[in-house]
């Protein structure tokens, strides 16, 4: 596994902050009110430690999956905790009852759009910095227990990549309103990112 030095870690955090800043502006437009998104943590983690970093065992997650196309192909997964999804959806459609495991088609569509905005804003910041082209596919949604939501995509992606770039975001300054943006580059894209960021070997 590769490690980031202080400057590389700081740069990734800055990119994450820029991306989520753009996302906060875009989400405020669709929600009709100001939204605060902070980025308390950005990590380059071993693929098999993604679930450990998220720490969502036994909880429910809404996962939005998007294929990343262009110069740095891979997959990006945006994850909302139940509390974050509830808070966002109640702002967007306050009169619609909320049942996390039985979301209406309109609520599902809204979550996918929010995931699309978050991932698009972050990947645009990454693409601008790296001078690479990156495009997103149509989003797909899974709402289930964390283990079920993560198992199928992680099994699929685990055969294609060794590490992931994980951004933890907080909504409205509240830790329980957490979201995650996880970018899984394919091997060629991973090699290009390592070259761009100049990531050194362990030790």
Do 31 and 119 meet the contact criterion of CB atoms below 8 Å apart? no
- The label of the residue with tokens 């082209």 reads 133
Residues 85-100 pLDDT 10s: 998 898 888 889 999 8
Three-state secondary-structure class, residue 157: helix
| pLDDT single digits (tens) 4-50 | 566 667 777 777 788 878 888 888 887 788 878 877 677 777 776 77
Domains of the chain as residue ranges with CATH: 6-194 (3.40.1550.10)
**Phi–psi pair at 73, nearest 5 degrees:** -70, 155
Bigger pLDDT: 198 vs 164: 164
Picking from 135, 146, 170, 4, the residue whose alpha carbon sits closest to that of residue 61 is: 146
Buried b (16+ CB within 10 A) or exposed e, 91-107: ebeeeeebebeebeeeb
- Alpha-carbon span 64 to 23, nearest angstrom: 15
Three-state DSSP class for residue 147: helix
Helix (H, G, I), strand (E, B) or coil at 77: strand
Quote the pTM value: 0.83
For 129, the 3-state DSSP assignment is helix
Chain centroid to Cα 117, Å, comes to 10
What is residue 203's predicted lDDT score, i.e. its pLDDT?
37
Residue-level pLDDT at 130: 86
């Amino acid at each position: 596994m590769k490690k980031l030095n202080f400057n590389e870690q700081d740069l990734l955090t800055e990119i994450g902050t820029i991306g989520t800043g753009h996302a906060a502006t875009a989400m405020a437009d669709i929600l009709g009110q100001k939204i605060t998104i902070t980025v308390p943590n950005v990590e380059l983690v071993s693929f098999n430690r993604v679930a450990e970093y998220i720490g969502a065992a036994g909880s429910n997650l809404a996962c939005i999956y998007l294929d990343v196309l262009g110069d740095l192909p891979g997959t990006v997964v945006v994850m909302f905790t139940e509390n974050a999804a509830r808070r966002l959806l109640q702002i967007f459609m306050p009169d619609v009852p909320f049942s996390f495991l039985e979301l209406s088609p309109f609520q599902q569509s809204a979550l996918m759009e929010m995931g699309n905005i978050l991932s698009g804003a972050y990947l645009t910041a990454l693409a601008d910095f790296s001078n690479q082209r990156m495009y997103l596919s149509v989003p797909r949604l899974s709402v289930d227990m964390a283990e079920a939501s993560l198992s199928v995509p992680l099994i699929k992606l685990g055969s294609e990549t060794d590490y992931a770039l994980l951004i933890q975001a907080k909504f409205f300054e509240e830790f329980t309103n957490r979201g995650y943006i996880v970018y899984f580059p394919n091997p060629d894209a991973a090699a290009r990112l390592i070259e761009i960021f100049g990531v050194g070997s362990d030790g």
